[in-house]
Amino acid sequence: MLALATAYFRCRFHDITMSQPATYNSATKRPSAENQFLLNEFAPRNGSTPRSARKNTDYHEKQPLFDRGATAEPVRLTPAWEETNLPNDELNFKGVTMEQADLEMNPPKDSYPGIALCSGFWITVLVKHWHAKPKLLCSIPYFVDYKLSKEYTGIESNYVTNFLGYLGFAAQVPNLVFNWLNIFVQIGGNLTTRVVWSIFIEAVVFIITIILAMCNSSEWPGFFFWTTMITVVILNMANGVYQNTVFGMAAKLPFKYTGAVILGSNVSGTFTAIISLIASIMAPSIRTAAIYYFITALFVLLACFDTYFALPLNRFYRYHELVHEKEMQRKKKENRGVQPSIPYLTVFLQCLPQCFNVFFTFFVTLSIFPAVQADINKSDPNFFVSDELYVSVTCFLTFNICALIGSILSTLGSWPSPKYLVIPVVMRVLFIPFFLVCNYHPRKLERKFPILVENDWVYWSGAAAMAVSSGYYSSVAMMYCPGSVEPQYASTAGMFGAASLISGIFGGIMFTLLMPKLVTIIEWNI
């Protein structure tokens, strides 16, 4: 540490002596003794000694320190180091710690796997609200076929009939509202406060859900239903703030780390699909499977909480956080200490093309997955996947694994450029009619639209292609979004991208309500 401090101050002093005129003895025309001593003391040890240009000085200059015939004068450091107006990277030591000096002098290398791993754990919780949330996938039989069923409660209610409609509305509307609100209003304070409180609230909600799963609610199905809806609303309010904040924090890092966040979501989706499949096979009952699943989700939340506090220990993350803070301080100094307001409209217009790419990618994806794919039946009875596992394998597991592959591909290189990314994104809309002409049979409805794809392998290949393109283009668009604005507004652009992501999810889920009508109303004879 002492060697580091010596080297740091030696470099700083070298810049000072080279940028300011040296002090000379008017009689001998040589540098004063004190200056000569300091030059020798702090001279670089690589063979080169900084030299000051010879320049005449006025009569009132101080005499040499060891000149016996001279009158001693007090030593004056003018100007003082702390009072200079030089930028931080040249002189100003005020507020500079040894750690910051070490980071500036020795910038860390890109430890991408470590940051990506933490980002992946962070984002695990995000997928609960759409393609892998326990209350929307694994737990649907738990709610519909067990907790609210006539066999359990003894009464026939509309809770089962309209459960998915209520659940979808309760899940997506708060998430959508809070994602957009979080851009303009600093909900809960700074980024750290928002992340910590969001995870804490979600953990509490899952503890309540586990307790409800263990209780006998057959005597009060109405209370159980509305309590579940309230927990879904609270969960997605916290989830909206959390997701938006994480994308804002990732925007401080190099742009590829925003893709790591999408990668983390697909990793968690794959993990969730596998756990759901294992729980369905091994659990003795629906209730037990749901309890195991909720407990697993709680442990994942605790892992998110731990990795958040572990991330600042990473040297690479601390370096970019320091760079971001210095940039903000520089901008603040340029504005004479007045905190400038964020030009939200300007930032939004600059990142609008990439926000549209994010929105439309998720709109197409959620228009198909999981609502349409979950109702696609097996065409060939000899297909190697059994009827019981057909949807789990060809829909949920395939989507999450292939979306993960697409996200990994985006970290290896981004194509096309930001200007032309909209072309393949818009072309993905062709997946919607493709899945409608597969063996899609909405529940309790009679299909009239003809089936054109009756091959399970063709359908499965289309599902894989849709998932890979979803993971790839969503990652690339989210990486392009912060880079389309000035560096100080990258965090805001990242939040706009996250809000566009949620908007695409919400729009896609709402659009799925039209899919059953399209195949039951439109009649076409081939």
Q: Which two tokens stand for residue 89?
A: 């990277």
Tell which wins on pLDDT, 288 or 124: 288
Q: What's the confidence (pLDDT) of residue 113?
A: 57
Tell which wins on pLDDT, 157 or 378: 378
CB environment 23-49: b (16+ within 10 A), e (fewer): bbbeeeeebbeebbeebeebbeeeeee
Grade residue 101 by pLDDT with cuts at 50, 70 and 90.
low
Indicate if the pLDDT at residue 216 is higher than 50: yes
Indicate if the pLDDT at residue 296 is higher than 80: no
Indicate if the pLDDT at residue 472 is higher than 80: yes
Q: What is the pLDDT of residues 487-525, one digit of tens each?
A: 888 888 988 998 999 899 889 988 988 888 889 888 777
Domains in the chain, ordered, with CATH?
Answer: 126-321+344-521 (1.20.1250.20)
Indicate if the pLDDT at residue 346 is higher than 50: yes
Q: What is the mean pLDDT of residues 193-217?
A: 85
Q: What is the mean pLDDT of residues 410-439?
A: 94
For the CA atoms of 515, 516, 517, 521, the dihedral, rounded to the nearest 10 degrees, stands at 120
Q: What's the confidence (pLDDT) of residue 309?
A: 74
Indicate if the pLDDT at residue 35 is higher than 70: no
Task: Report the distance separating Cα 72 and Cα 66, nearest Å.
Answer: 9
Q: In whole angstroms, how far apart are CA 468 and each of 163, 234, 399, 404, 526? A: 31, 32, 8, 7, 32
Grade residue 344 by pLDDT with cuts at 50, 70 and 90.
very high
Indicate if the pLDDT at residue 362 is higher than 70: yes
Task: Report the distance separating Cα 107 and Cα 400, nearest Å.
Answer: 36
Geometric angle at alpha carbon 408, from 403 and 409, rounded to 5° = 95
Question: Which amino acid, 76?
Answer: R
Q: What's the confidence (pLDDT) of residue 378?
A: 94
Q: What is the mean pLDDT of residues 47-74?
A: 50
Tell which wins on pLDDT, 229 or 162: 229
Q: What's the confidence (pLDDT) of residue 102?
A: 61
Nearest-10 crossing angle of helices 490-511, 221-250 = 140
| Cross-strand bridge partners of residue 440 | 376
Tell which wins on pLDDT, 143 or 91: 143
* For the chain, percent of residues with pLDDT exceeding 70: 66
Q: What's the confidence (pLDDT) of residue 377?
A: 92
Q: How far apart are the first and last CA of the chain?
A: 81
Indicate if the pLDDT at residue 129 is higher than 50: no
Query: Using an 8 Å Cβ cutoff, are 131 and 369 in contact?
Result: yes
Q: Report residue 215: phi and psi, to 5°.
A: -85, 155
Task: Report the distance separating Cα 433 and Cα 368, nearest Å.
Answer: 10
Grade residue 408 by pLDDT with cuts at 50, 70 and 90.
confident
Query: Using an 8 Å Cβ cutoff, are 427 and 492 in contact?
Result: no
Grade residue 262 by pLDDT with cuts at 50, 70 and 90.
low
Q: What is the model's pTM?
A: 0.65
Mean pLDDT of the chain: 75
Q: What is the mean pLDDT of residues 197-218?
A: 86
Q: Which has the closest alpha carbon to 474: 354, 324, 378, 313?
A: 354
Q: What's the confidence (pLDDT) of residue 356?
A: 97
Q: What is the pLDDT of residues 131-150, one digit of tens each?
A: 334 445 556 677 877 888 88
